[in-house]
Amino acid sequence: MVKKPSNKGPESIPSQGKKKSLWLRALRLSSLLMLWLGLALLVLTAYYAWDLPDVDNYEKQTRRPIITILAADNTVITTYGDVYDKAVKFNEVPPYLIQSIIATEDRRFFSHIGVDVFGMVRAALANVRAKRIRQGGSTLTQQLAKNLFLTPERSMRRKIQEILLAFWLETRFSKRQIITLYLNRVYLGVGTFGVAAAARRYFGKSIKNISLKEAALLSGLLKAPSRYSPFRNKKLSLKRANQVLTNMFVAGFLSKSDVQRAKAEVIKLANQKSGSGARYFADWLLQRAFGFVGKGNQDLIIKTTLSPYLQNIGEQQVRNSLKKDGKALRVGQAALVSLSPDGAIRAMVGGRRYAASQFNRVNQALRQPGSAFKLFVYVAALESGLKPNDIVIDEPISIDGWKPKNYTGKFLGPVTLRRALSESINTVAVKVSEKIGREKVIKVAHKLGITAKLKGHPSIALGVDGVNLLDLTSAYALFANRGYPAWPYGIIEIRNKKNEILYRRSRVLAGRLVQKK
């Protein structure tokens, strides 16, 4: 039988060989590239591993000192610093708290070796799709490594070190030990570290007594402690807690009926003795406390002059005033401060809501006092020898082209200084200021407690320079005190944790600043 000749010509053989050669070259090139990338990653890892922190000091806790601010009746206004409770053991924590954390933060915790590759890939894909960082791929072990050893910076160096330290933790400790360390060190907002401290801060109870929904709320804080804080936004916090409960159902920890019962539970938060607005006062107070005892590492207890009763009334008055007149006056903020005759601050409200704005409008905002400043003009006039019954002409005036007008648009002619002050006549106040000298007015204002820088222009008599509310209130209190100053203060005493007195305010006997005329 004669064999049929092949249809393929000799020219087709080199073509196949050429394709095979190109494929082999591509394989060699990609293998070489992967080898070099692997070597580069190995060198980079070794470099960052050389700079790892001292892992033997993982048990040491470095924290900011706790500063407790007390009201005059010894109720707690607020606490600054890092608050830890007694370390809890694994079997002291309700199982559903651990389950809620695992369901929300790291579902493969008990199966991975410190790093969850699938979780990292999933997070990366989600972030690419969203074109922003929406998910993190860190495991609980990685989070613990960061909490124990690293800074919050975001860099390749820190991420590689985090992964290496996570591997070290997994080889050194059991899963139970890792989750227990995590529970005792994790930050949960309002200065609290660890679930035990958070349970007392948010619910006023021991960690072993928290409910399923309370556990879900704590777990929900892990994503963003400040944003989801129930003290700041309870509605958002509960919404997040419900999402955690759903996560537990998806992970197989809860049944549908368990989730429904938990979602129906009403959470009662721990009492906040003074209104949240008292934080304005506490912030103002803190720097003054450091001025008395210095910035050290010891815990402090600061007793203050604040009255919780008056503070709550003050906050309510600010809210009511803004609700009633805010829209008509086109203002969205207000402030209030209340002093006793000796200058003790009894209430301070720096704004509508502290959580929305920490700017304290009592002492940080400079506002034009307007006619309230005329008091300093007339005190300066009396100190310069003028008398309350001296006559000044209320008439049109012009100073360097500036022509002040009265609110009524009228001029009254001859008036006494007493009448000019009581009727708040602008032209007379300016005339008096010009007669005695603007620098004299500024000097008197500073003597009576105004700390703002004042400019010596003609309109100073009409209160165009900004002053703060605390200074102005203190200066006016002087006249209620028959000329004796009411320098504002808020600290009664400062003690350390051993109950040793570090500072106690002594009675200040100040001389009369304004004599009776």
Catalytic residue ranges: 105, 371
Main-chain dihedrals φ then ψ at residue 77, nearest 5 degrees: -85, -50
Closest CA to 228 of 279, 191, 265, 189: 189
**Assigned token pair, 138:** 């860190």
Helix 438-447 and helix 426-436, axial crossing angle in degrees, nearest 10:
100
Tokens read off for 500 = 């040793």
**How many helices (H) and strands (E) are present in the chain, helices listed first?**
17, 11
* Dist CA 289 CA 296 (whole Å): 11
In 412-423, which positions are buried (b, 16+ CB within 10 angstroms) versus exposed (e)?
beebebebbbee
Q: 3-state DSSP: the chain helix, strand, coil percent, rounded to 5?
A: 50, 10, 40
DSSP β-bridge partners for residue 414 = 393
| Strand residue runs (E) in 184-231 | 192-193
| Non-local CB neighbours of 370 within 8 Å, separated by 6+ positions | 462, 463
| Cα separations in angstroms, 471 against 33, 280, 489 | 71, 16, 12
Max Cα distance, the chain (Å): 145
At residue 280, what is the residue type?
Y
CA separation for the pair 349, 227 (Å, rounded)? 23
Nearest residue to 406 (alpha-carbon basis) of 421, 433, 424, 431: 424
Closest of 323, 313, 315 to residue 349, by C-alpha = 315
**Packing angle between helix 95-105 and helix 175-185, nearest 10 degrees?**
90
